[in-house]
Amino acid sequence: MYDIRSFGELGTADLVINGQPAGQLPPPESVPGAVFAEWVHRSVDIDPALLQNGSNSIVIHLDGAVHLDRLQMELSYAGASSVIRLRRVVV
């Protein structure tokens, strides 16, 4: 889960997990009724196959007029048999 805003201008936030592209975070404009500089609470599912046992690296590439306020990871999915830790989060 994350909070995002763009001040009504173009911008993107691309998610990379362990060096593999995991997709673009949906922008605030994808929420009906969101206007200008409002923070929008969003979430995105990631493919568990991108995660590895032990440490993981999460990188978010910001481009243009996009701001992230917080990032909350929930690492719980069916079939998980070991602990997964985040080594670092880079924005």
Q: How far is CA 7 from CA 17, 26, 49, in A?
A: 27, 15, 34
The predicted-structure confidence for 11-29, as pLDDT tens digits, reads as follows: 889 999 999 999 998 888 8
Q: Could you tell me whether strands 20-24 and 11-17 are parallel, antiparallel, or unpaired per DSSP bridges? A: antiparallel
The model carries a pTM of: 0.73
The predicted-structure confidence for 67-83, as pLDDT tens digits, reads as follows: 888 888 776 656 655 55
The pLDDT value given to residue 33: 80
